[in-house]
Structure 1
């Protein structure tokens, strides 16, 4: 298993079916359009590849800085392939993402998880050593 940063249009298209497992509302066209806009803002997409170079997990991240957190890595998306979930795949990818964050001199890794996502909360708290620190408020405009 190895983690790679996806850089090319063909790699992004190859990642779409896996991203669709997390964001099932997106068309491929919307995905590519948003991805191109997000990349202009610093978005980076990483994939964990298995021994046959198949993508088994994805992590989409931004590096941000603010007064409260200092420099930190924001995890926008984390998805593992449905067929390989609960086999340590997400944890392998997150170890490499944390190493990347340290290399970029980030002091924290932060993410958001919807209130209904109990399995995701279990992963973050019990496998990644994260603690719940607050609630995100959202208003549709």
Structure 2
């Protein structure tokens, strides 16, 4: 498999894989536009390609610094096409993000995951992640 960072010109390649995690993304154009806006806030997108050159999985992340974790990469999105699951794409993306965090001098990598995503949790735990806290949110 090949891992490559996507830019504005090829962001649309990630749409199907991202939609597997974010079904509210109902159009490729809206997805590309949303990513373009997030890029202004430091969001980056990296993809894992299958042997036929199609995006099988994608990770969206950003470099952050805050008091509790210092400098770190935060993974906003990690998604694999259902047909490409259990083939190592997500693990390869996590390893790529780990290396990028080290390259940038970060103290670590953080992410949040929905409570029913048990397969994802097994992957994170087997990749060295721990569960240090619960995430709370409030919507208006």
Q: Normalised by the shorter chain, which TM-score bucket?
A: over 0.9
* C-alpha RMSD of the superposition: 1.2
Residue deviations 1:94-113, cap 9 Å, x none? 11111111111111100000
Question: Alignment partner of 1:76: what SS?
Answer: strand
Q: Which position in structure 2 is the counterpart of 1:14? A: 13
TM-score, normalised on structure 1?
Answer: 0.92
Question: Alignment partner of 2:21: what SS?
Answer: coil
State the shift of 1:48 in Å. Answer: 0.9
Contact 2:60 2:75 in 1 (8 A): yes
Distance 2:88 2:51 in 1: 15
State the shift of 1:33 in Å. Answer: 2.4
What does residue range 1-141 of structure 1 map to in structure 2 within 5 Å? 1-9=1-9, 11-28=10-27, 29-125=29-125, 127-141=126-140
Unaligned runs of 5+ in 1: none
Distance 1:12 1:70 in 2: 29
TM-score, normalised on structure 2?
Answer: 0.93
In the alignment of these two chains, the number of paired residues is: 139
Question: Alignment partner of 2:12: what SS?
Answer: helix
Question: Alignment partner of 2:73: what SS?
Answer: strand
